[in-house]
Structure 1
Amino acid sequence: PWSVIGGNTFGTLVGIACAVWIGPPWLAAGVAVGGAIALMQQARCLHPPGGAAALLAVLTHTTDWRFAFVPVALNSALLVLGAMSWHAATRRPHPAPQPAADAVLPNADELSSAIDAAVARYGEVLDIDRTTLRGLLEDAQTQAYQQRLDSVRCSDIMRRDVQSARPDESVAQALLRLEEHGIKALPVIDKHRQVIGIVTAADLRIDPDAAPSAMRESAMPVAARMTRQVRVVSETRHLSELIPLFAGSGHHHIPVIDASARLVGMITQSDVMRALHRPSQQATD
């Protein structure tokens, strides 16, 4: 609204001034258009028709200052009012409502500072207010993240050198493997590499009275400690399908299987976060 009303009004005022104070029409026309653009930039209401309004005032040799307010400013206000009424009637509010910021997006202050720095480096005045520009950028970032979630598959981000355990292995062997590799969970597989359970360090040390050294020496089989109802995902599933599993069900490690239900990898919460924050072209390398 400000660009329409302010741009047209200031442009007309500059045109009238040039028509009054500058003699040759060809010179007045050039000064009027250039002056109108400069004034609109300073007033942050850059509006292309404002330059035409300045030129019109010179060509018609308008010298009455009231012309800038009635009919120009008045008609501009009526035009804006009509547009706002149309948006309200069609339920398309202006300016457009801003999308809710995603947790992984910059906050409002960070994004505003970044916009100011980018515009200053760009070195030109953009005919768009900061709020609309920020909303546009936030929406673009949200769409980019959604596209990334829908394009990346489990096979692109999973750890392929996954460590596993056999059900007949001892607790001591499983604990040693967890400590050697610095991991927190082991999928338990059968002779066909199909996942039949999962075991964590907490599962293996479930007896609070047992010393760690005693647990490492335990010959108890992993099958006695493992969780048998284990969530697995296919290597072809998209990253967007993993978010609810990690966010809502409390999972921290999810085994990945192929079309034959054999273990081929493991995905953790850290893998998902890393995939969200790295460049999209690297996510599928």
Structure 2
Amino acid sequence: MNKKWSALENLLAWFKTFAPAQIGTDNRERLRACAGMLAGLFLTGLATRAMLGSYAAIPMLLAPIGASAVLLFGVPASPLAQPWSIVGGNMLSALVGVLCVHMLGASMASAAVATALAVAAMFFLRCLHPPGGAVALTAVLGGPVILGLGYKFVLIPVGINSVLLALFALAYNNATGRRYPHAAQPDHTGKHGTSDARPIDRLGFQSRDLDEVLQKYNQVLDVSRDDLESLFMQTEMHAYRRRFGEITCADIMSKDLVTTEYGASLEEAWTLLRQHRIKALPVIDKARRVVGIVTLVDFMKNANLDVYDSFEEKLRQLLRRTRLMHSSKPEVVGQIMSHPVRTARHDMHIVELVPLLSDQGLHHIPIVNEERRLIGMVTQSDLVAALYRGRLVDTGAEKISQASV
């Protein structure tokens, strides 16, 4: 009896593996995707009809295009939903299907061969698109109207439908906050183009670790490699926040700031940098909103100090005010400052500053409040000190826990 009950439990557990996983999207995202499919398919059909008025017998929308719409509007970040995937995949599959009809005739066997060859061709040309398999089947089993088109089927209506739907997806996804197309990033070297890992990679897993795992996995993933890496990085950041607590920019920023304005003279700005022994000055407007930042590097660039001869004289020439009405050299801070400036909110967790101060090569980040007014400044040194203190606290907690055991 126990064996029978155990076998029944195992069978039930096996059936539970077929239960679909919960989709991690909210109602707003689902509505966005459905509205995009509605508009995209409707407009694609209308535009196709307007272009092919003389081909009234041809369906203005092929059934596989509905499957393409699910990908383009439902999962626009998928590698299978990119413009080259839909246009190249569908048209290539149509061409393979038509070739199979001409060589093998219209039969179930040729339909199966066409589908398999279409997938192989899409793999080879890196335009894998699942609806392409349905396009190949349609080319073989679509009936007299489709068969009568011959090679025209590749363009009419497959090519037209695919291009129009991709264009509508491009406009709609970007208008609703979804980056499309999702371009691949093949170069994962360090900031200077070397084989060294990026600074943030050295804190946890590295890009090459992910590449090696994906190579061993040896299966097609419906998510881009860069999105996968981004998700892992966000997971590491979330784990850090859970482990070390909420340390925000407001907790570590410098509040006693030295600032300047757009119209301040270069001599005034240089004096502030030298007197306070700092390397950067936020440039603010009357409402204390950041409009730029001026650093020692900005002065060096504009004084042509990369040539070391007459170093001091060139700097004096840059700082010296011109008494004439017109001048060919910069006169005020606004003419040499760097802008726009990357800022951070006061309630941002410090772990989110790591990619800004490492990958992007920033040394100073102005901190702003809800009204985007300047309230502080965080430097690389501030961030390193905060991460070090957080690590000391965590190590101390581990030692206390081990001692209690």
Structure 2 length as normaliser, TM-score?
A: 0.35
Point out which structure has higher relative CO (alpha carbons under 8 A, 6+ apart): 1
Larger Rg: 1
Instruction: State TM-score, norm by structure 1.
Output: 0.48
